[in-house]
């Protein structure tokens, strides 16, 4: 990996000016639910045509995800997802703690979920998961030069770690075993990196 790439900090998501013809103005906000991970609110807004509408919004502290590569294999964790009612193969990931730097959070999640530590993390584009109703942003990193260690799972966290090749990743996507956006995006980024050497 080029030294100039390694030294980059993760680019924060930019918020360019909105198209003024489409802006909705918030009239009021009603808190509905405050949970450990997310909160829900209902906003009353003025629409571009002057009418009013409501928007159900989920607030999330943000998350990190790590494309961790060992040679020709990437690390994935198999974890039960209650919302889906089944297990899902995903790249290591987790939510940001209050005030936590995304890069430090990525190192922490990689260590906790897989036991591995990375000598370097390279930032990939951050992205919103569901901007139609949520403000969750995921900061994605690629980790190489991994050193094995011990997993540090939370007391309510149960998962299995495995390593898969790119061909296996595409087969698992086709089978539906990998179906979350962050992992599919990571697989495509890894494939692009193998083809071009660029992220």
Among 34, 152, 155, 160, the one annotated catalytic: 155
The answer to whether 67 and 140 have CB atoms below 8 angstroms apart is yes
Catalytic-residue membership of 136: no
Q: What token pair was written down for 60?
A: 């999330």
DSSP code string of 139-160: EEEEEEEEE-------TT--EE
The answer to whether 112 and 75 have CB atoms below 8 angstroms apart is no
The answer to whether 37 and 114 have CB atoms below 8 angstroms apart is no
Burial class (CB in 10 A: 0-12, 13-18, 19+), 82: exposed
Q: Which residues pair with 53 in a beta bridge?
A: 45
Which residues does the annotation mark as catalytic? 155
């Amino acid at each position: 990996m080029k030294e100039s790439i390694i030294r980059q900090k993760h680019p924060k998501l930019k918020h360019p000016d909105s198209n003024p013809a489409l802006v909705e103005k918030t009239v009021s906000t009603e808190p509905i639910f405050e949970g450990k991970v997310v909160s829900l609110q209902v906003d009353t807004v003025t629409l571009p045509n002057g009418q009013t509408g409501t928007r159900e919004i989920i607030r999330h502290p943000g998350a990190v995800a790590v494309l961790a590569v060992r040679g020709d294999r990437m690390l994935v964790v198999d974890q039960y997802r209650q919302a889906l009612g089944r297990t899902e193969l995903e790249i290591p990931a987790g939510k940001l703690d209050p005030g936590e730097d995304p890069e430090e959070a990525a190192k922490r999640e990689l260590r906790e979920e897989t036991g591995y530590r990375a000598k370097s993390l390279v930032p990939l584009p951050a992205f919103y998961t569901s901007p139609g109703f949520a403000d969750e942003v995921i900061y994605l990193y690629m980790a190489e030069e991994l050193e094995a260690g011990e997993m540090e799972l939370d007391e309510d966290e149960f998962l299995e770690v495995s390593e898969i090749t790119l061909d296996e990743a595409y087969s698992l996507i086709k089978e539906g075993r990998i179906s979350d956006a962050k992992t599919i995006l990571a697989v495509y980024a890894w494939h692009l990196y193998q083809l071009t050497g660029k992220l």
